[in-house]
């Protein structure tokens, strides 16, 4: 099984491929397009990581619906920042269209693929645990404010 993981429309956009639970490739888009801290859709990195293979699943390391109530409440209480929200809304729309954008660039076929929008910190936890050799482990993500949260911890347990 090939899983294409994407950090898209966020700083340091990148792609990675897990094949049957093993990390086989990971690459930041800036290494190919030569734009430092690039924050778009990592099409070149995805192609390079897949090397012509087709992904069975695509995991996007952002979920626009995560903590939506908290995001809306925060926005409602700060009308002076409403103009800034247009770029965030546009970013969420682009994230929701990743599957179509990948198909348009020929990275995945047009027929439906399983696309998973993974909350930012869950994506960190999953990428650390599932690519490890551990059967069970405590995992923690301490990061910026991705998907309206800065810390998450969990107990990872292999599914066999």
Write the CA distances from 19 to 4, 8, 30, 132, integer angstroms.
9, 20, 23, 13
Indicate whether 35 pLDDT > 90: yes
pLDDT of the residue at 142? 92
Q: Residue 5 has what pLDDT?
A: 94
What's the whole-number average pLDDT of the chain?
Answer: 87
pTM of the model: 0.82
Residue 25 pairs in a beta bridge with: 17
Distance separating alpha carbons of residues 40 and 48, to the nearest angstrom: 16
Ordered by start, the domain boundaries in the chain are 2-157
Q: What is the pLDDT of residue 40?
A: 92
Q: Is the dihedral of CA 14, 88, 60, 107 positive or negative?
A: negative
pLDDT, tens digit (0-9, with 9 covering 90-100), for 93-132: 888 888 889 888 888 876 656 889 998 889 999 989 988 8
Please state which CATH number belongs to domain 2-157: 3.30.420
pLDDT tens for residues 49-100? 999 888 989 999 988 787 778 877 877 888 887 777 777 778 878 888 888 8
Give catalytic residue positions: 10
Q: Can you give the pLDDT at residue 18? A: 92
């Amino acid at each position: 099984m090939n899983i294409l993981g994407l950090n898209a429309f966020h700083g340091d956009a990148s792609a990675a491929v897990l094949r049957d639970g093993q990390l086989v490739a990971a690459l930041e888009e800036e290494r190919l397009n030569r734009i430092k801290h690039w924050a778009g859709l990592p099409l070149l990195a995805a192609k390079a990581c897949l090397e012509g293979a087709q992904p069975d699943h695509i995991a996007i390391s952002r979920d626009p619906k995560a903590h939506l109530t908290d995001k809306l409440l925060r926005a409602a209480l700060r009308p002076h920042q409403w103009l800034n929200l247009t770029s965030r809304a546009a970013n969420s729309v682009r994230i929701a269209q990743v599957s179509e954008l990948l198909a348009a660039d020929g990275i995945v076929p047009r027929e439906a693929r399983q696309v998973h929008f993974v909350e930012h910190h869950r994506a960190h936890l999953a990428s650390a645990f599932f690519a490890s050799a551990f059967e069970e482990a405590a995992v923690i993500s301490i990061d910026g404010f991705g998907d309206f949260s800065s810390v998450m911890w969990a107990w990872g347990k292999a599914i066999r």
